[in-house]
Chains A and B, each alone.
Chain A
Amino acid sequence: MGNPMRIRAAEKDGVTEVKVLMNHEMETGQRKDSSGNLIPAHFISELTAKHGDKVVLQAEFGPSVSKNPFLSFKFKGGAKGDKVVVSWIDNKGDTRSDEATIG
């Protein structure tokens, strides 16, 4: 179970803007530690955002994405009070899912 995400979703004129701040190391697997050993890769590989049952965003992440990634996207059809669920899975099989209410 990874660290919690911060999600903010706000609806305006029929468009819902979702902002997500993930909390993840995002190691590329190319860095070395102080003793010269490679630090093993550890990054989010897949991210899914759902509005109800409908997938509104699906993304493949990789080692080029920064530590603690910030993601922002918009979709149509959300209403105030609906739930947005964002979940990711990383290359070690760890997952995390958080939700926010559209305000």
Chain B
Amino acid sequence: MSRFSKTVVAALLAGCALGAHALDRYPGLGRVATAEEVKAWDIDVRPDFVGLPKGSGSVDDGADIFENKCASCHGSFGESNEVFTPLVGGTTKEDVQTGRVKALVTGSFPQRTTFMKVPTISTLFDYIQRAMPWTAPKSLKPDEVYAVLAYLLNLAEVVPADFVLSDQNIRDVQNLMPNRNGMSTDHGMWPGRGMGNGGKPDVKNVACMKDCKTEVKLTSSLPEYAQDAHGNLADQNRLVGGVRGKQTVAPAEGDEKAIAGQPSTNAIATALATEKGCMACHGVANKIVGPSYQDVAAKYKGQDGAEARLVAKVKSGGQGVWGAIPMPAQSHVKDEEISKLVQWILSGAKAQ
């Protein structure tokens, strides 16, 4: 705000010095701003109270103004959380003593209210005068701004209920602001070499000149202990389609291939059945067009030569055993693949 107004003043001064010249150069365009116009623009109040208008207002007056113009959004006591975060709350008598809001450090208050954060009272004055009420900014007279601010200070238990805030005592109240010592310029976010840590930025981006990485690889993974947070992902993915879940739970003993991260024989057979189109007509556990693999396994369980008979049926097709719908010859599947599939079916058609 102050920087902005400085620019305006500087522009004005420049305008005065060069005004005639500028107007000569662009005849008929614009004019020098009058002193009144600049005064109407230049309303900022700075932390050193430059720009503070004369006036005063009491807590009682402020309560009435607040009730009429502010309470609909901020609540009668500045406590409302419905439209904006609360204005008041979270500060204690000790904060007024120390000038640092303890709740900001300990996190004991669930929110950050205006009075917890704001270090300078001039900021509040400036903001109320400039921007409030929301529907009619700049409509409050200086005395009304003083009154509203006095009421807020009373709600925050900074000043007593009979207090009258004025341009005379506002400096004293600044020394009571709960978070007056909470502002730090000791970081690179603050502009200029004369401020804070001397303008040293908070982040440092140095170009790599030696042993640099050649490519950027973005990965994401859960830490080891959290891999099974949602159970075994391999069990939760469908058996059809190209996506397989990761084995996130250590498999039972005897399934060494899965332990080593290799797909098991069953998983390979499942994928093969999917790839060759068997799954289009046969389900693992349920009948689709043809019988389910588990039904087939149950029917031929323990029979001699079942494997050879089934291999032949898959190869040249068949009809009648499971109903009238024929199974066509599967000539596109290689012999060793057929026997692998048949072995898998007869072993119970397990997924893993």
Inter-chain contacts of A19 with B (CB < 8 A): 76-77
Interface residues on A, range: under 10
Binding site for A on B (CB under 8 A): 63, 67, 75-77, 79-80, 89, 155
Is A76 an interface residue when CB atoms closer than 8 A count as contact? Answer: no
**A–B complex contacts, Cβ < 8 Å, 18 sampled:** A6-B77, A6-B155, A8-B63, A8-B67, A8-B76, A8-B77, A10-B67, A19-B76, A19-B77, A21-B76, A21-B77, A21-B79, A68-B79, A68-B89, A70-B75, A70-B77, A70-B79, A70-B80
Most buried by A among B75, B77, B80: B77
Which A46-103 residues sit within 8 Å CB-CB of chain B? 68, 70
Tell me the smallest distance from the CB of B220 to a CB of chain A, in Å: 31
Most buried by B among A6, A19, A68: A6
Complex Cα gap A19–B75 (Å): 10
Residue on B nearest A72 in the bound complex, by CB: B76
Give 8 closest A-B pairs by Cβ, nearest first. Answer: A21-B77, A19-B76, A6-B77, A8-B76, A21-B79, A70-B79, A70-B75, A68-B89
Complex Cα gap A21–B76 (Å): 9
Inter-chain contacts of B77 with A (CB < 8 A): 6, 8, 19, 21, 70
Q: Known pairs A8-B76, A68-B89, A70-B80. 15 more at Cβ < 8 A?
A: A6-B77, A6-B155, A8-B63, A8-B67, A8-B77, A10-B67, A19-B76, A19-B77, A21-B76, A21-B77, A21-B79, A68-B79, A70-B75, A70-B77, A70-B79
Complex Cα gap A68–B77 (Å): 12
Complex Cα gap A21–B74 (Å): 13
Inter-chain contacts of B80 with A (CB < 8 A): 70
Tell me the smallest distance from the CB of A94 to a CB of chain B, in Å: 19
Inter-chain contacts of A10 with B (CB < 8 A): 67
Inter-chain contacts of A68 with B (CB < 8 A): 79, 89
Complex Cα gap A73–B242 (Å): 64
Tell me the smallest distance from the CB of A69 to a CB of chain B, in Å: 10
Inter-chain contacts of B63 with A (CB < 8 A): 8
Which A8-37 residues sit within 8 Å CB-CB of chain B? 8, 10, 19, 21
Inter-chain contacts of B67 with A (CB < 8 A): 8, 10
Complex Cα gap A10–B155 (Å): 18
Tell me the smallest distance from the CB of A73 to a CB of chain B, in Å: 13
Inter-chain contacts of A6 with B (CB < 8 A): 77, 155
